[in-house]
Amino acid sequence: MTESPFLRNPYVPGKPVSPLLFIGHGNEIETAFDQILSRGHLAIWGGSGIGKTSFLEMIAAPQTWTFRAQDPTKAVIVLLSCLGVSPFNAANFWREVFLLLKEALTDEPEIQKEVEDYLDRQTASKDNLRSILRLLGKREKFLLLLIDDYDVALQPNPSYTEQDAANFLSDCRNLASHAKESQYLASIVTSLRRLNEAGIKLKPGESPWYNHYLFQPLKPFNETDAAALLGGLPLTPALKDGIRDIADGSPALLQVAGYLLFREFRANRLPDPDAFAAEFQRATEHYFEDNWNFSSETEQTLLMLLALTHLKGRLLKKRYDLGDTDVIFSQKERELRDLEERGVVIYQVKEGKKQYRFASSLMEWWVIKEIENSDEEALQARQRTFLNLMSRRQAETVTSAIRWLWQNKEEVPPILAWLGKITSALSIGFM
Ligand SMILES: Nc1ncnc2c1ncn2[C@@H]1O[C@H](COP(=O)(O)OP(=O)(O)OP(=O)(O)O)[C@@H](O)[C@H]1O
Ligand SMILES: [Mg+2]
């Protein structure tokens, strides 16, 4: 093969994918349109890198509407990320909405002028948005709010108290379901966790601020979608297997793997396993970190148990005992299902029993590093969670296993052992 420098790398690691290259999620898009067309509200949640931002951009693209015989000009679309509202508070949020609304209203100069006046008078607010919605309604249009990273709105910060957050969320709910103008508004929000599990606790007797949403998880790719994403590469069966081992159905991890492999393929080079491992790790670390940080204490403990169980199999000799972890896993089905929906773990049924493992072998390595880097104080802080999950004796067994790991770090195999499948496949190269 001759080198072909003009072949563009079609993979976009770390960037939302363009609607033209968007793969899968057909059912979720249909659900989104059902909600939009009935002026409803949808809450999408999914793990880090599962494709939430790409999904919103797909919904905002005119061709997605025309493909469904819908007129995109009926919707005035405002897409924003709460991460971009800094510091997050209600005033800054509504101001950002009005700024984007102004840009989106080039076809409606009169309404655009109204929006501009509110901005000039610094009165961009939920109440004034109601007047804008009425004006849109008169033109037989509606506002579609696409709000990314809604987790931020659920977390207090120095300029946003818990009470501010409660007020903001209840304002949004009133706007969406009680105001007369709600017939001219549809919205989709995305978050890393289900809204009822993320941030802001309800006070007794308070009706939930998230009642008006239809909930929809954005799940990892199935095999067909994962294969479609890698379709442009001449992969050997061993390489396909190796990629599944490190990325499973995570669009983010697949994009990184695809990008690195395509680069080598285009240059007609045999991929270097060490360089691949180092680059893959560097480009994906933050997804693992987010998945860890956005897990509850119970989920983190389950991930630690899972990693320690598998590490045992990777050590040369059996060095510690964890007791019967299957009992613990079988009692925490709900948490494990949640981790599965977020693309962190997957399960297989073996001999009639559900067996969990990490979706990415690198996430498993990452959790082992997290355990290695923790200390006695952190371990003590986890004891309560341990005791909620297991007997005192078993908690002691797990605690000893963790202490063993601290003292025997050199026995933990290097990262390449976790990437074993892909590294051996890489040295054979492409089809
Ligand atoms: N449907 C898709 N088809 C192809 N690639 C996708 C798809 N969805 C996401 N990706 C790719 O996966 C990566 C992560 O996507 P995206 O940023 O949309 O995820 P996210 O859930 O918003 O991540 P984060 O939690 O970091 O905000 C990007 O590289 C993107 O190109
Ligand atoms: Mg995102």
Q: What is the pTM of this model?
A: 0.94
Q: Which pLDDT belongs to residue 202? A: 61
Ligand 1, atom 16, residue with closest C-alpha: 51
Check pLDDT > 80 for residue 199: no
**Non-local CB neighbours of 293 within 8 Å, separated by 6+ positions:** none
* CB neighbour class for 54 (10 Å; exposed up to 12, middle 13-18, buried from 19): buried
- Distance of alpha carbon 374 from alpha carbon 44, whole angstroms: 33
Check pLDDT > 80 for residue 227: yes
* Amino acid sitting at position 299: E
Check pLDDT > 90 for residue 208: no
List residues near ligand 1 (CB under 6 A): 12-17, 22-25, 46, 48-54, 229, 251-252, 255
Check pLDDT > 60 for residue 179: yes
Compute the mean pLDDT over every residue in the chain, rounded to the nearest whole number: 93
Ligand 1, atom 13, residue with closest C-alpha: 252
Query: CB of 127 within 8 A of CB of 174?
Result: no
Query: CB of 54 within 8 A of CB of 251?
Result: yes
Percent of all residues in the chain with a pLDDT value above 90, rounded to a whole number:
84
Return the HEC string of 269-285: CCCCHHHHHHHHHHHHH
Query: CB of 288 within 8 A of CB of 248?
Result: no
Check pLDDT > 60 for residue 5: no
- Residue ranges and CATH numbers for the domains of the chain are 25-217 (3.40.50.300), 221-431 (no CATH)
Q: What is the mean pLDDT of residues 387-406?
A: 94
Which residues surround the ion ligand 2 when the cut-off is CB under 5 Å?
52-53
Q: Is 227 helix (H, G, I), strand (E, B) or coil?
A: helix
- Total length of the chain: 431
213: confidence class by pLDDT, cuts 50, 70, 90: very high
Name the DSSP class of 378.
Answer: H
Check pLDDT > 60 for residue 246: yes
* Beta-bridge mates of residue 41: 187
b/e map 336-364, b = 16+ CB within 10 Å: bebbbbbbbbbeeeeeeeeebbbbbbbbb
CA of 51 to the centre of ligand 2 (A): 7
pLDDT in tens, 336-392: 999 998 899 999 888 888 889 999 999 999 999 999 999 999 999 999 999 999 999
Q: What is the mean pLDDT of residues 414-425?
A: 90
Query: CB of 111 within 8 A of CB of 139?
Result: yes
Q: What is the mean pLDDT of residues 244-255?
A: 96
Q: Which pLDDT belongs to residue 200? A: 66
* CA-angle at 308, arms to 305 and 314, nearest 5°: 150
Q: Which pLDDT belongs to residue 7? A: 87
